[in-house]
Amino acid sequence: MLDSNKLNLNLQLQRIALLIQYDGKNYCGWQRQPHQITIQGVLEEAISSLDILNSPKLVAAGRTDSGVHASGQVAHFDCSKSIPAYRWSLALNGRLPKSIRIRDSVLQSSNWHACHSATFRRYRYLIYNGCRPNLFVAPWSWHRYQYRLDEGLINAALKGIVGLHDFTAFQKAGSKRSNAITNIQEALLLREGDLLHLEIQATGFLYGMVRLLVGQLVALGEHKITLHEFERRWKGKLRGEVKESAPARGLSLIRVGYKNKIFPENIIFDSFPIFSLSTNDSPPLP
């Protein structure tokens, strides 16, 4: 019987970077967990079926939570040289469920790392602000229909969080980080009819950070809290007062940045389109 552990010592390995899309609604997040279906687990099983002499471990740029989507997740693994790098995307897509797609696969040097080499991660949260239900945007958005959200007020709040700050107020319990300091590089809100696209780019994100932040911003946009109250909570690190967390289905990891270009720009930037609803049926603010 072949001993794969001994064979690993003699294998010449190559590092493959993957650009990954997934619909996260039926998965318990990215990270492999016992007795749970996860993105990492499904992908590693598919990779192992193609590289039977090796047991590759897939390393992601960011560990998305249960129910969160990705259109531009990046990950790497080390494998034998039996399959050329560019063919991995096609080979894996033939073995993966339709809820996970590999957009591209490229060869990288052994010292390149999907997580540690990343310079930013960019998330988009989609809010549907129409007063009537819409079946076709429901899986990807949070439906807030009571009031027309005040995007001017939300953008004013977003300007204040850009930069290097302590975001303890937006960190869920259970984080293993030694501190809650992170650098938000860009934060903006774009309205397209009844759809609001909230994009946040940072060097890294805390556990549950974006969903807690969006929950506060929606409360602000509905005039349930004031801008002063929003700033008091996060600047004062008042985690106990931040109770609203946006649902996972509206959140997607859309891009990961690196010092050197990894994938063609047309493959990265068209992977999650900006949706638009031409009609606007939201009620006026009270």
- Whether 140 and 193 map to the same domain: the answer is yes
Q: What is the domain range of residue 103?
A: 4-108
- Whether 124 and 257 map to the same domain: the answer is yes
Residue 1 pLDDT exceeds 50: no
Banded model confidence at residue 80, pLDDT cuts 50, 70, 90: confident
Residues 6 or more apart in contact with residue 207 via CB below 8 angstroms: 171, 172, 174, 175, 177
Please check whether residue 146 lies inside any domain of the structure. Answer: yes
Residues 6 or more apart in contact with residue 93 via CB below 8 angstroms: 101, 102
DSSP state of 180: -
> What is the per-residue pLDDT for 81?
83
Residue 179: exposure state from Cβ atoms within 10 A (0-12, 13-18, ≥19) = exposed
- Whether 236 and 163 map to the same domain: the answer is yes
- Whether 86 and 127 map to the same domain: the answer is no
- Whether 101 and 167 map to the same domain: the answer is no
- Whether 92 and 138 map to the same domain: the answer is no
Q: Which of 51, 65, 104, 194 is catalytic?
A: 65
Question: For residue 215, which of 170, 159, 280 has the smallest C-alpha distance?
Answer: 170
CA distance 246 to 258: 28
- Whether 43 and 147 map to the same domain: the answer is no
CATH of the domain at 46: 3.30.70.580
> What is the per-residue pLDDT for 282?
55
- Whether 65 and 125 map to the same domain: the answer is no
Instruction: Work out the widest C-alpha separation in the chain, in whole angstroms.
Output: 73
Number of folded domains that form the chain: 2
- Whether 213 and 160 map to the same domain: the answer is yes
- Whether 129 and 164 map to the same domain: the answer is yes
Residue pLDDT, tens place only, 8-46: 545 689 999 999 999 999 999 999 999 999 999 999 999
Least confident span in 7-16, 161-170, 244-253: 7-16
- Whether 172 and 246 map to the same domain: the answer is yes
Question: For residue 154, which of 69, 246, 219, 232 has the smallest C-alpha distance?
Answer: 219
CATH of the domain at 257: 3.30.70.660
Tell me, yes or no, if 3 is annotated catalytic: no
Please check whether residue 228 lies inside any domain of the structure. Answer: yes
Q: Which residue has the higher pLDDT, 109 or 279?
A: 109
